[in-house]
Amino acid sequence: MTAETTKKGYVYLIGAGPGDPGLITVKGRDCLAKAQVVMYDYLANDELLRLAPKGAELIYAGKVGGEHNREQSQINELLVQKALSGKVVARLKGGDSFIFGRGGEECEALVAEGIPFEIVPGITAAVGATSYAGIPLTHRGVTTSVAFVTGHEKKGKASSEIDWEGLSLGSGTVVFYMGVTNLPHIAQSLMEHGRAPETPVALIRWGTRPEQEVLVGTLADIADKARAAGFKAPAITVVGEVVNLRETLRWFDNRPLFGRSVLVTRGADQAGEFTSMLEQLGARAYCCPTIEIAAPESYAALDEAIEGLDSFHWIIFTSYNAVKYFFARLDEHGLDSRALGRCHVCAVGPKTAAALAPYGIRPDLIPADYKAEGVVAAFSEMDMNGKWVLFPKGDRAREVIPEELTRLGAQVIAPVAYANHTPSGIPEEALLALEEKRIDCATFTSSSTVQNLAGILGENRFLHLMEGVTVASIGPITSKTCRDLGLDVHMEPAEFTLEALSREMISFFGGK
């Protein structure tokens, strides 16, 4: 893109892929990051809009209530208008723009006005959706050819442009786009022109997404099956013997939590790991941060402790955030982990221990029970009389450790290293999923996550929205808080880790 071309604007025609936001190309992602205007379609995943710069103008050009929001001519005009105003425009289209995406028509409009543009190919639905359904489009010994066909032709045509005879007589795979409504006609036309009634057929709806649905049948019965199942668009239809390979190659929609919607209430800075874990298991994770971690009102007490670090025998870390904020403050003082000297280190569990690893520290103690009571139990087996203990904590931390270690004779200094704030609201997507009863399971990884969600929503609304939702709690302290707020707890792992909580969810939902 040159200075000359940007005077007239520039358009990137980007294929967004079939649904999974991870399937957008690297180039597509990079082009989105340059956009001043993003025009996006019904089938383009909303998560991709987060790749656009803050402040970019977002224009929806898809469907409303099943009908097209704008005519194609209006989209063309708007593209031209935005580009002529000097804007960099990202035209984000589901799948690939040049495969039943009408991208060619949009490019023709740009050419007519002398507007420079660039095509960024995407993964089309026939490739993405069939891969996620475990159906190869070609396979040695089965078929060596594939055809992509529109499932609905323009109304009012005197005759069909589809070569039904050519599609029917070969053994190749045929993929129909947007053909659910015309499924009876498609199946009948193929059989009338020679395709065997027992030919396998698969319908794939919302391919590559957590909502993916696959219905398998034959040309003879697929229309009746779809009608009975209430199978609706958006979907593609796959015809051919390769459909039989799904039984062997299925990998995406048979994962243990596939189709389950899970509310993740961890803080935004820590939700990613758990969200990724759930998505790998097939769940759809709704991020709903109920905690915001920030610096404390004052670092005075922590600074004083850092100045006297060489006097401490032990330092206890009970969270990732305690590690993060303590070492950040240490750095502010021009110090690093060497400042701990001979001070022994206790980490409440393996995740906190992992947070210490980048600082070159291996904990001297990890209690068997990953909670405050476990820390106390471990120290009760030692002679703590006269020992100095530093416990950098959050502003809402329970007083179990300071009180109990003091009772054991230790001198405990517990400065606040970070503060927990309650967000003013929860993400709209998560709230809508709760209101529409689409959440199967809500996960709570601390008492604060439960208390804050109830506080954000209001107790009555909280209980109403949580009706029928399975509750997964990280451990007994969190479970007690859930019950105190009126929730039933359905899952609580014996080990208080995210991995154990995930395994518990697999076990719980495995038989349902």
CA angle (165, 167, 171) in 5-degree steps: 120
336 DSSP β-pair partners = none
Q: How far is CA 349 from the centre of its chain?
A: 26
Sequence length of the chain is 512
Residue 253 to residue 261: CA distance in whole angstroms = 14
What is the number of other CB atoms lying within 10 angstroms of the CB of residue 326?
Answer: 23
Known active-site residue 382: no
Sheet arrangement for strand 411-413: 344-347, 314-317, 388-390, 411-413
Closest CA to 196 of 160, 228, 221: 221
For the chain, state the CA radius of gyration. 29
Sign of CA dihedral 103, 104, 107, 113: negative
Q: For residue 512, give the 3-state DSSP assignment.
A: coil
66 to 124, 234, 287, 323: CA distances (angstroms): 21, 10, 28, 51
Q: How far is CA 323 from the centre of its chain?
A: 27
Residue 55 to residue 39: CA distance in whole angstroms = 14
Contact at 8 Å (CB) between 72 and 62? no
Residue 471 to residue 495: CA distance in whole angstroms = 17
**Set 41, 96, 253, 440: catalytic member:** 41
State the distance between the two ends of the chain, measured CA to CA, in whole angstroms. 54
**Set 27, 30, 46, 63: catalytic member:** 63
Contact at 8 Å (CB) between 171 and 143? yes
Helical pair 103-112 and 72-84, crossing angle rounded to 10 deg: 40
DSSP H or E stretch at residue 246:
helix 246-249
Residue 485 to residue 463: CA distance in whole angstroms = 8
Those residues whose C-beta lies under 8 Å from the C-beta of residue 301, and which sit 6 or more positions away, are 413, 415, 416
Q: How far is CA 229 from the centre of its chain?
A: 28
> What DSSP designation does 219 have?
T
Known active-site residue 178: yes
HSE value, Cβ hemisphere, 13 Å, CA-based, for 358: 8
Closest CA to 421 of 451, 461, 459, 398: 451
**Set 8, 34, 178, 191: catalytic member:** 178
Known active-site residue 303: no
Positions annotated as catalytic residues are 41, 63, 178
